[in-house]
Amino acid sequence: MTQIAQVTGSLGSIGYGLAAIGPGIGVGIIFGMGVQAIARQPEAYNIIRQNMLLGFALTEALALIGFVVPFVFGP
């Protein structure tokens, strides 16, 4: 079976790049909606900020797991 195409080099970088798409969109949505919520109701700033940071950390975890996995299952 002849090889038609091959990717060499740092596959970990490609993996991280792909893994960062979803969390990037997710973090944008979280903070965008958080800012909208603060604009609608400024007196709820503290509770909104806490929930924003909670959501940010949960979403960021996925991107960082994508960063770490190439090192764990490394060459």
Task: Give the three-state DSSP class for 6.
Answer: coil
In the complex with other proteins, which residue's Cβ is closer, 3 or 59? Answer: 59
**Closest CB 2 distance from other proteins, rounded Å:** 33
> Minimum distance from CB of 55 to other proteins (Å)?
10
Q: Are 14 and 7 in contact (CB under 8 A)?
A: yes
Report the distance separating Cα 58 and Cα 42, nearest Å.
24
Nearest to 64 by CA among 22, 8, 9: 22
Q: Which is nearer to other proteins, 4 or 67 (CB)?
A: 67
Contacting residues toward other proteins, per CB under 8 A: 50, 53-54, 57-58, 60-61, 64-65, 67-68, 71, 74
CB of 71 vs other proteins, minimal distance in Å: 4
